[in-house]
């Protein structure tokens, strides 16, 4: 995929707009001004994506080529659905032949070619329901999950890292050989045990911060490419 061109002039909206509502708190006004003047937000609206997060996935794919050839994709923490939109397009998923399953505890508006589960991924029934929904072995598991923030950096980091770890173990359990895993994490270090586990099962493990991720954001993405297959776990036991 070609890298999306970011150009405010293409949206028909001028950059640098100010919010004039007097009743808004200063922090809310600043957030809203940043949002409406964000070129990625404007580009998402122009191209029909539900959120600016679409460009994070597209930019990661441009560098690491994780979408090409994907036949089935599972999207964790999918709301509002921009990654699922891309997944449905690259897999050729339709309502008659579902190839994308998405899950979030938040409600999502239906998307063509996507089975949406409104369910907490930590629910014990979630993995089985996702596999049933996607209709076969996935080639790619993507996760934009993040725990609701508390304002306490260390707590937020640990809670989101827990989601990342659970998603990683799920990916190892369900991916087809050669598949990929991508998940949101936070700056501050990925747990050593998680990295060791991923390096055991995948041929390449890297941290990525796409250009569309805001500079002030502490989010990063953990990418594991080239799943070796579950034999990688079974062989040491046999030995």
Nearest in space to 144 (alpha carbons), one of 114, 105, 182? 182
Whether 184 is catalytic is: yes
Q: Which of 21, 56, 129, 184 is catalytic?
A: 184
Q: How far apart are CA 160 and CA 163, in angstroms?
A: 5
Q: CA–CA separation, 158 vs 165, rounded Å?
A: 10
11 and 43 Cβ atoms separated by less than 8 Å: yes
To 10 degrees, the CA torsion angle through 152, 206, 75, 91? 160
Cis ω for the linkage preceding 80 (within 30 of 0): yes
Measured from the Cβ of residue 183, the count of other Cβ atoms closer than 10 Å reads 29
Pairwise CA distance, residues 75 & 87, whole Å: 8
Helix (H, G, I), strand (E, B) or coil at 103: strand
3-state helix, strand, coil in the chain (%, to 5): 40, 15, 45
Catalytic residues: 184
């Amino acid at each position: 995929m070609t890298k999306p061109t970011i150009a405010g002039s293409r949206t028909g909206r001028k950059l640098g707009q100010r919010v004039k509502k007097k009743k808004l708190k200063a922090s809310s006004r600043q957030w809203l001004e940043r949002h409406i003047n964000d070129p990625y937000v404007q580009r998402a609206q122009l191209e029909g994506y539900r959120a600016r997060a679409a460009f994070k996935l597209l930019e990661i794919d441009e560098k690491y080529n994780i979408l090409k050839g994907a036949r089935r994709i599972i999207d964790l923490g999918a709301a509002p659905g921009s990654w699922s939109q891309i997944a449905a397009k690259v897999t050729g998923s339709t309502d008659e032949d579902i190839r994308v399953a998405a899950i979030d505890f938040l409600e999502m508006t239906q998307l063509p070619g996507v089975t949406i589960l409104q369910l907490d991924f930590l629910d014990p029934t979630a993995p089985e329901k996702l596999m049933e929904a996607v209709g076969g072995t996935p080639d790619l598991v993507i996760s934009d999950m993040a725990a609701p923030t508390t304002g306490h950096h260390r707590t937020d980091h640990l809670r989101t890292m827990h989601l990342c770890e659970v998603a990683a173990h799920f990916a190892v359990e369900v991916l087809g050989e050669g598949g990929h895993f991508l998940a949101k994490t936070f700056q501050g270090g990925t747990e050593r045990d998680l990295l060791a586990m991923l390096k055991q099962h995948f041929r390449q493990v890297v941290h990525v911060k796409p250009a569309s991720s805001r500079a002030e954001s502490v989010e990063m993405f953990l990418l594991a490419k080239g799943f070796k297959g579950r034999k990688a776990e079974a062989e040491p036991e046999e030995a």
